[in-house]
Amino acid sequence: MAEFLKKLKSKVKELKKETFVLAQAVADKRTPVLAKIFAALTVAYLLSPIDLIPDFIPVLGLLDDIVVVPVLIKTTVSLIPESLLDELRTRIDSDEKLQKKWYYALPVIAIYLLLLFLLYKTFSSK
Is 90 exceeded by the pLDDT of residue 16?
A: no
Report pLDDT for 94.
65
**At 78, is the pLDDT very low, low, confident or very high (cuts 50, 70, 90)?**
very high
pTM for this predicted structure:
0.63
Higher pLDDT, 28 or 63: 28
Please give the C-alpha separations between residue 47 and each of 81, 87, 112, 123, 124, in angstroms, as whole numbers: 24, 24, 12, 28, 29
Identify the pLDDT of residue 96. 46
* Rg (alpha carbons) of the chain, rounded to whole number: 17
